[in-house]
């Protein structure tokens, strides 16, 4: 059996007290202390996994902002850093750029949900007002005719001839 001697590279057994590549429990730091500026509680944020994943939704303004920032990137690696910082995939950036080139991102804005409100036609408003006026006048005419009928019946009962004003 051949024995191979491992030589520590970098921070190995002598400096940290752990063999190279050894696994540590979450929140356990080499040397027992967290790095400067970080407490043991901040080491690994608690991640809550929901039962059903929800699809991320991006606003048109956010998409436009990311595409503008990506277009300003000139040095190699800047776009990758931007995507990592925002937690995005390069395919999203490609899709958003294509949508921008087609003009789809410019027309998007926050839209109110539900049925669209249609401004009433001014002619419809006038027609409705005229129909109300015709209704009022026809009711007034019916009352006048009923009053004339009552007057005729009263004149017949009293025996006085009723003369119409024709």
Q: Give the pLDDT confidence of 52-86 residue by residue, as tens digits.
A: 878 888 888 899 999 999 999 989 999 999 999 99
- State the sign of the Cα–Cα–Cα–Cα dihedral 65, 70, 74, 76: positive
Question: Helix, strand, coil: what percent of the chain each, to 5?
Answer: 50, 0, 50
In a domain, 121, yes or no: no
In a domain, 115, yes or no: no
In a domain, 65, yes or no: yes
Instruction: Spell out the residues 6+ positions from residue 73 whose beta carbon is closer than 8 angstroms to its own.
Output: 79, 82
User: What are the Cα distances from residue 131, in Å, to 10, 139, 160?
Assistant: 93, 12, 41
- Nearest to residue 18, comparing CAs of 27, 5, 26, 29? 29
Q: Give the pLDDT confidence of 107-127 residue by residue, as tens digits.
A: 655 567 788 888 878 899 899
Confidence (pLDDT) at 83: 93
Report the number of distinct structural domains present in the chain: 2
**What domain range is 140 assigned to?**
128-161
Report the alpha-carbon distance of residue 134 to residue 136 in Å, rounded. 5
């Amino acid at each position: 059996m051949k024995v191979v001697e491992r030589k520590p590279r970098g921070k190995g057994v002598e400096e940290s007290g752990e063999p190279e590549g050894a696994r540590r429990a979450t929140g356990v730091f080499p040397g027992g202390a967290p790095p400067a500026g970080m407490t043991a509680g901040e080491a690994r944020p608690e991640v809550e996994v929901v039962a059903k994943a929800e699809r991320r939704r991006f606003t048109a303004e956010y998409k436009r902002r990311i595409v503008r920032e990506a277009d300003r990137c000139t040095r190699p690696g800047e776009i990758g850093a931007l995507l990592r910082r925002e937690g995005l995939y390069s395919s999203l950036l490609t899709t958003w750029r294509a949508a921008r080139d087609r003009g789809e991102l410019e027309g998007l804005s926050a839209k109110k949900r539900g049925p669209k409100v249609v401004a009433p036609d001014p002619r419809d408003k006038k027609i409705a007002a005229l129909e109300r006026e015709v209704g009022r006048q026809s009711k007034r005419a019916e009352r006048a005719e009923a009053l004339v009928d009552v007057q005729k019946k009263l004149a017949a009962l009293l025996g006085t001839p009723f003369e119409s004003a024709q």
